Chain A
Amino acid sequence: GAGVSQSPRYKVAKRGQDVALRCDPISGHVSLFWYQQALGQGPEFLTYFQNEAQLDKSGLPSDRFFAERPEGSVSTLKIQRTQQEDSAVYLCASSLRRDINASGANVLTFGAGSRLTVL
């Protein structure tokens, strides 16, 4: 596609529910990132994929958060047993960069985000 697509754009969940957020990156983009953005704050890194490999998940706040990218394109961020503090915008971004030694820098293209509200 022309850009990074995220769905749903808005999600309201009751505390304790499981949610799944989807990201369709730009076709051919190797790298995929998930960020969490609280109101009035900058994006906080959650996890990074290179193709289907999850190379860094150090930013995931708890074991209730799980991300996958099984075929190296679409990615899903799953949050189990949602809590109120999970309320935020979840941003997905993709880039062409293949590895840390590539000459190209890591320029990210972001989706519009999925706004999660946990009641």
Chain B
Amino acid sequence: SQQGEEDPQALSIQEGENATMNCSYKTSINNLQWYRQNSGRGLVHLILIRSNEREKHSGRLRVTLDTSKKSSSLLITASRAADTASYFCATDSGDNDMRFGAGTRLTVKP
């Protein structure tokens, strides 16, 4: 079964706008990761945030983590058409399996 749930399921924005995706999970975690998947391809790791961290930045990506609410958000600033993809959160609970959510399908219109 899947651990995380992302919302929204789909998001469509204009180039230059910011995109925010949310993830909720159920069990305690060691870290939470965000991955991106282009159509017909495998997933690519974007960013990791540990359970003792609240916010992390990488380029145009900003991730927050609220362990009390068991939720995380991924913000992509100044979006580009090339950011069009599906985005998944994955929880690492330290038991050697990584659980993924159903994903948010982001469309960035040029």
Residue of B nearest to A35 (CB): B100
When the two chains form their complex, are residues B96 and A100 in contact, meaning their CB atoms are under 8 A apart? yes
Known: A42-B2, A45-B97, A106-B98. A112 touches B42 (CB 8 A): yes
Number of interface residues of B (CB under 8 A): 28
* Chain B residues within an 8 Å CB radius of A107: 33, 45, 48
Distance between Cα atoms of A33 and B95 in the complex (Å): 13
Interface residues of B in 1-60 (CB under 8 A from A): 1-2, 4, 30-31, 33, 35, 40-45, 48, 50
**Contact of B45 (CB < 8 Å), options: A48, A109, A112:** A109
Distance between Cα atoms of A91 and B48 in the complex (Å): 20
B75 within 8 A of A: no
Interface residues on A, range: 20 to 34
Contact with A along B61-93 (1 / 0, CB 8 A): 000000000000000000000000000101010
* Chain A residues within an 8 Å CB radius of B95: 56, 100
When the two chains form their complex, are residues A105 and B48 in contact, meaning their CB atoms are under 8 A apart? yes
Residue of A nearest to B95 (CB): A100
When the two chains form their complex, are residues A56 and B96 in contact, meaning their CB atoms are under 8 A apart? yes
Known: A33-B98, A48-B97. A43 touches B43 (CB 8 A): yes
Interface residue ranges, A against B (CB under 8 Å): 4, 31, 33, 35, 41-45, 48, 50, 55-56, 58-59, 91, 93, 97, 100, 105-113
Please give 16 more A-B residue pairs, beta carbons under 8 A apart, in addition to A42-B101, A42-B102.
Answer: A33-B98, A43-B88, A43-B100, A44-B2, A48-B97, A91-B43, A93-B98, A97-B96, A100-B94, A100-B96, A105-B33, A105-B48, A106-B31, A106-B98, A110-B43, A113-B42
Interface residue ranges, B against A (CB under 8 Å): 1-2, 4, 30-31, 33, 35, 40-45, 48, 50, 88, 90, 92, 94-103
